[in-house]
Structure 1
Amino acid sequence: MAKESVKARDRKRRLLVQKYAAKRMALKAQGDYVSLDKLPKNASPVRLRNRCSMTGRGRGYIRRFGVSRLVFRKWASEGKLPGVRKASW
């Protein structure tokens, strides 16, 4: 499980990306890279990392469900994910 500080940093970055998204798009369209460079570094969507919404784990992320593989497996075993069941053959 990730530290609370890592999860908080991720949330803060996501808010900054949303806040500056329109401005970044306008500056890129104009080709004004000097002004684009003056925006905060964390406003760039490249700096985001997909993290599990429950644990904050950065690896083994399943995009469709928004959680890590560990949480996904737990939820699937408990039957909390509709339409998902363990394979058996």
Structure 2
Amino acid sequence: MSMFRAKKLDLGCFIKPRTIRDHTKRLVFEKFEPERQALRYIIRNTTLPPRVRAEAQLQLTQMHSYTRGTQIRNRCIMGGQGRGVLRDFKMTRFQFRMEAMAGNIPGIKRASW
């Protein structure tokens, strides 16, 4: 038997290491966002003493990179791919085309005029 138990992730897409990493980044970002906002507010508040603002800036820079919103990447819900993702449908261009042609996306049909 394995020492480690695989944690079941129901992300709705094909699970690859990058997909798991992105999911982890989303969870960490959600957890630490209020703290980051508070630190940013302290840094921008000019009425506070410079020492307090400098300490807040130091704390913010020492936080893990996964706590930043820029680390999160939109991924396809079908295949987990990170490029060419349409935001409205959360699918890559190719997957969107295949699903639309199969008639699986309501309200979408081929253009003809």
24, 33, 41: which one aligns with 1:21? 33
Write the letter of the residue equivalent to 1:77. M
Match of 2:109 among 73, 85, 88: 85
| 9-18 vs 49-58, which moves further | 49-58
Aligned length: 88
Over the matched positions of the two proteins, sequence identity in percent amounts to 34
Deviations 1:50-76 (A, max 9, x none): 111221111111000111111111110
Q: For the pair shown, which has the larger CA radius of gyration, 1 or 2?
A: 2
Please give the alpha-carbon distance, in whole angstroms, between the structure 2 residues aligned to 1:7 and 1:58: 9
| Aligned position for 1:52 | 76
Residue number in structure 2 paired with 1:33: 57
Q: TM-score, normalised by structure 2?
A: 0.72
For residues 33 and 98 of structure 2, what CA distance do their matches in structure 1 show? 35
Quick one: distance in 2 between partners of 1:72 and 1:18?
28
Q: Aligned-pair RMSD on alpha carbons?
A: 1.5
- Compute the TM-score of the two structures, normalised by the length of structure 1: 0.90
